[in-house]
Amino acid sequence: MTKIKIYILAIFIGVFVGCSQSEQVGDLSQKEKTHNKELVDLPEKEQIKFKFLFHNANKERILGNYQLAANLFLQCTHIAPKEAAAYYELAHLFESSKEKKLAIEYSEKAVKLAPDNYWYRVLYAHSLQRSGNSLAAIKQYEILIEKNGGDVDLFFDLAGMQLYAGKYKESIETFNLIEQQIGITEEISVQKEKIYIKLGDIDKAANEIQKLIDEYPDDLKYQVLLADLYLANDLQDKAFKVYQEILEKDSQNPYANLSLYDYYKNKGEENKASEAIKKAFASPDLDVDTKVKILLSYYSATERRLKKEALELNKIVIKTHPKEAKAYTIYADFLYRDKKLESAKENYLKALEFDNSKLPIWNQLIFIESELQDNVSLLRDSKAAIELFPNQPLFYFFYGATNLQKKEFEEAVEYLNIGKDYVIENPPLLAQFYANLGDGYNGLKQYEKSDEAYEEALKIEPKNIYVLNNYGYYLSLREEKLERAEELSALCNEIEPDQSNYQDTYAWILYKQGKFVQAKEWLEKALENGGKKNAVILEHLGDVYSQLHNIKKALEYWNKAKEIEDGDTTEFLDKKIADKKLYE
């Protein structure tokens, strides 16, 4: 009978964490011998049944039917309990499904039945490793190395496992064996350096980096690494000496200058530190992300010298990286912090020239333009942002609100209606959308929709001062729902008393209800709270006195209203004064 060949299926390649390339692919002829003496001794019928089940188990595994595959492999073990292949495949399945105990159990059985099979023992080692049994895993790697002639990838696995288990000296010995095979490399030397640091042996750690320097004398980064090691361990003189050696070879080396910056800072030599950091920032070899990260450490600084230095570094970054959006963005952030809004706006716009895909930049720009009351820019940029980010409600809000100020009510209402549907779990923003829709519909004289929008806003924020005041005032102008208007305005004045505008609104609602005495009292309160230079309040008080049949007082306040330059008075004011009579 022909022996059954065990296929290592592609679906499992790469399953192992930390598996080396030679463990995943390569010549399997020596590493995958199947010990199936018992299988050939079985009756032919049993052999055929085993092959059938094994084949179908592999097929189900490929299809992703892992439970079914496991059941079929288990049936294989019942037919041939000393055939390793089925145990191995079961261990693979349990390893993939993170059934650690079962993975160890079945991979151990496979190894005991076929101790010379490379892949079975690799799986067993990894199963032990994942279960946290480091010492047992190390033992399996040692056996693998002994049986497979010192495969370098196995040495890497062993060194890593020793390191994980805290066996630092043994790990170093294993890395030394790797080094004998492949020579001095950054990966190994840096790893050994870290281990020696853990062991508290800085001299040996430094020797590892010195080996890299000797091996690659033209690569200055290793000298920087050595100097940084010295600096981190309070060996400042040694660090300084190495930095000077680097700068003799490359005076503009950004990494050496960065490290010198730390060195001088630690020694309190601020001027030299500043000079070093500026040289580092002037180098295009130091990436912009590193520079931005350093600048962020300055952001919360309050000392005048540091703030000045940060701005100088910002300018150097822009000069060195003139087409990098990040350079302008970080500069704009600093300018905004210092309330230099116009300059901040210019730099955010510059950043967007090079990269317009960053949502936070657009947000910041729009807020600044709103703060500056720059409606021209606000309309332009909020519209541009809507096109780039069509599901961001904030841009619709600012575009709609700015159009409201321009009395472009149709445009405002259209975009506010679209934007509100994108608001998710932000009740205050949604309330603002409805408040502005109330204003917009009122401007379009669509009063029913206006009232509905205001009511929606108040459902979300029942004490929204803006809505309470505007909604009540517009109802009074229309002389509709005056009781509701009075209720709204009364609440407004309760929440924020002594505000002349709110008191004027309440007075005007009372006036429309014919409550002239009460209206006069509230208008007088408004005068006391700053309304003496408000033409609207003065004219309203004149109207009230007229209704109270005191035309002398009415003329007094109408004339005062007329004296206010740019006062927002009614079209009837001159006629009232001329005819000494109320017109509405």
Residue 124 and residue 3 share a domain: yes
Alpha-carbon separation of residue 261 from 237, 240, 401 (angstroms): 14, 11, 49
Flag whether 411 is in a domain.
Answer: no
Residue 276 and residue 207 share a domain: yes
Cβ-based neighbour number of residue 227 at 10 Å: 26
- Tell which of 283, 303, 319 closes a domain: 283
Residue 125 and residue 52 share a domain: yes
Q: Containing domain of residue 65, as a range?
A: 1-131
- Tell which of 70, 97, 131 closes a domain: 131
Both tokens of 71, joined, read 């059941």
Helix (H) or strand (E) holding 108, with range, is helix 100-113
Phi, psi of 284 (to 5 degrees): -70, -10
Residue 89 and residue 10 share a domain: yes
Alpha-carbon separation of residue 451 from 184, 319, 470, 473 (angstroms): 79, 55, 11, 12
- Tell which of 238, 265, 283 closes a domain: 283
- Chain-centroid distance of CA 211 in Å reads 40
Flag whether 556 is in a domain.
Answer: no
Flag whether 236 is in a domain.
Answer: yes
Residue 111 and residue 18 share a domain: yes
Q: Domain tally for the chain? A: 2
Residue 210 and residue 121 share a domain: no
Flag whether 510 is in a domain.
Answer: no
Residue 198 and residue 106 share a domain: no
Matching residue, tokens 């841009």: 395
Please give the Cα distance from 582 to 580 (Å, whole number).
Answer: 7
Residue 202 and residue 90 share a domain: no
3-state secondary structure of 337: helix
Residue 7 and residue 122 share a domain: yes
The CATH number assigned to the domain holding 45 equals 1.25.40.10
Flag whether 279 is in a domain.
Answer: yes
Residue 269 and residue 197 share a domain: yes
All residues at 6 or more sequence positions from 58 whose CB lies less than 8 Å from its CB, including other chains: 7, 9, 69, 89
Q: What is the DSSP letter of 358?
A: -
Query: Per-residue DSSP letters for 160-172?
Result: HHHHHTT-HHHHH
pLDDT digit string (tens) for the chain, length 584 residues: 222 222 222 222 222 223 333 333 333 333 344 445 567 677 888 888 988 999 998 898 888 888 888 899 889 899 888 888 889 988 888 888 788 889 889 888 988 988 888 888 888 888 888 878 888 888 888 888 878 776 788 888 888 888 888 888 988 888 888 888 888 998 999 989 999 998 899 999 999 999 998 888 888 888 888 988 887 888 888 888 888 888 888 888 888 888 888 888 888 898 999 999 999 999 998 999 999 999 998 888 878 888 899 999 999 999 999 999 999 999 999 999 999 999 999 999 999 999 999 999 999 999 999 999 999 999 999 999 999 999 999 999 999 999 999 999 999 999 999 999 999 999 999 999 999 999 999 999 999 999 999 999 999 999 999 999 999 999 999 999 999 999 999 999 999 999 999 999 999 999 999 999 999 999 999 999 998 999 999 999 999 999 999 999 999 999 999 998 877 888 999 999 999 999 88
Flag whether 47 is in a domain.
Answer: yes
